[in-house]
Each structure stands twice: as C-alpha cells, then as structure tokens.
Amino acid sequence: MKKFIKKTSVLLVLLLVVTQLVSFFSLYILRQSTFYKPNFLVNGLKRDNYDYVILGASTGLTTLDSKLIDSITNLQGVNLSMDDTNLASHYLMLKHFIAEGKTLKYCIIAPSNMSYNVSQTPLSNNDYRFLMYINRDYVLDHYSHFKSDTAKRLYYSKWFPFLGLSYYNTELFYPSLISAIKPHKRNRFDDLGNYSYPTHKNRMTKVKKKEAIVVSFESDYLKKIKLLCDAYQIKLICYLSPTESQPIDVYSKDYLFINHSNLIKNSDLFYDDIHVNGKGRQVASEAFSKVFMDIVE
C-alpha cells in the first residue's frame, strides 16, 4: 500500500510538472504571436504613435473601420476592439497600449451602448486573452478586482498557469498550437484590427422598434478610462453605434460623444438588431469620419 501511494504521488507530481511546463510554453507562444488583440498590439502594430485608437466590444469592432476612417481623415488609427468585452476590458486594453510605450491623441470608446449605464461591470467573457501577460501588474490587478471563480482561476494562473489554460483550453491551448506554426495569424481581424459581419441577416423575425432610452454614462470604468486619458493628455470620445431597434438619447456635459444609435434606417444594413453588416459599417464609418474631422480641427 505504501509503494502504491508513493508511486501515485510521484506520478501526480510529474503530471503537475508537465502540465505546468506545457502551460508556460503555450502562454509563451501566444505572447510571441498576433493571434488575439493584446498580442497583436505588442507584436503586430507597425507604429508607436497613433492619432486615434478604437476600443470597444463587437459593436466597435464591426461598426468603425479604421482603414476607411484613415482614408477619409488622413489620420493613422487602429481598431483594438474585442468581441464580448466591456468597459473594464477596454480600460485594461488602454493600459496595455500605454504600457507598451505607444502614444495616441484620441481614444474612441465604442462598447455596447447599454454598457455606459452599467455601474458594476463584471469580468468579460474574453478577458482571458490577456492571460499571457499575467506577470504584468496591471493585468493581475484587473483579475483581482472580480470575485467570480473564473476571475480567481485567471488570477492564480500567475503561479499555476494550468488553472487558466485548462479552463480555457479551446481558447488558449489550441490557438497556441496554431500560433506555433503560424505566428502572424490573426483571430478574425485584419492588419489594422478591423472585422465585419456578412451582409445576410442573423435572424428570421422582424425587429420590433423600442422606445428610446437615456444613456447617462454612469459606468465606474468609463470614469477610470477618462482619468487615464486625462493623465496622458488623450482626448476621449464616446461612440454610440447604430442599432435597429433601440434608439438612444444622450445627455452629458462631462463626456464628448457621437450618438449614431439612430443613424441607419435601412434594415438591410444590419446583421442583427445591434450590429451592422459590411455595408452598414461603411455608412457608419463615413458618418463618423465627418464628425471626427470636425473634432480634430
């Protein structure tokens, strides 16, 4: 019995060591890649100085085309939005950008429109994409602010990386294998961080119009973003993306905003009720560029 326990203990220790090594290696590979936006920021951006950066969720990712905006405004920008994220994630991405020694003049925040009214922001579903930078204080601090079991797994991955890697094996381990072979591969975005939805609609039923709601910019993380922007002399612009069903009224003296929630009337320009398709993206980006040029001037 003692021999069995001893052998089992040795095997468990060996398994733990191997798992740790594989986890360290997987995160190392991802850290050298451009697969996710945090890695793309570090390894894929060709410039250190930008006129503007777009930080947002799937709405920011698919509504504002930095290439088209650049061609109209003669500015240099990049889209660092990530799907399924929130204002806490955008705050982390801005910290990540600054930590890399990069500079910008305008920070365009483009989360889901309702995010502006959420005071208690949870950990987003895709914040694991920063895990390969867990040894950086601002990433560890980000995970420490949330009390969920998922956040704890990510936090303790600083010392036991297999916790995060095993939990997000499909999202981290398999991409690390892909990145080992193709280090410059990107996860559904172009060389300036843009992505668009196809022109067909992602629904079968007609969208019902809702009454307009008021956005009052109550988010604690939006306040943190503004403070960080002020500290680095960055001008913050809050963008409200087009929706097919939910017009937004905005009243604020504290934030500069562009309200395009009711910009597009044609349902053929929407992928679903809160996301435009490729054609809608062009309309929104052109409209944004005109307003943006007035702000810049």
Mean per-residue pLDDT for 236-263? Answer: 93
pLDDT at 201 over 80: no
Specify the CATH architecture of the domain 36-57+70-141+180-296. 3-Layer(aba) Sandwich (3.40)
Instruction: State whether residue 274 is helix, strand or coil.
Output: coil
| Complete DSSP assignment for 144-201 | HT--SHHHHHHHHTTT-THHHHHHTIIIIIHHHHHHHH-TT--SS--TTS---B-SS-
Q: What is the mean pLDDT of the chain?
A: 93
pLDDT at 16 over 80: no
Q: How confident is the model at residue 90 (pLDDT cuts 50, 70, 90)?
A: very high
pLDDT of residue 259: 96
pLDDT at 99 over 80: yes
Q: How confident is the model at residue 19 (pLDDT cuts 50, 70, 90)?
A: confident
Comparing 14-23, 85-94, 168-177, 184-193, the range with the smallest average pLDDT is: 14-23
pLDDT of residue 15: 66
pLDDT at 248 over 70: yes
- Reading phi first (left if > 0) and then psi (alpha if -120 to 50, else beta), residue 188 is in left
269 to each of 65, 199, 264, 279, 284, how far by Cα in Å? 15, 7, 8, 6, 10
Please, which residues have CB within 8 angstroms of residue 271's CB and are 6 or more apart in sequence?
62, 197, 198, 199, 200, 201, 202, 277, 280
pLDDT of residue 119: 84
Instruction: State whether residue 11 is helix, strand or coil.
Output: helix
pLDDT of residue 112: 93
Phi, psi (5° rounding) for residue 107? -110, 115
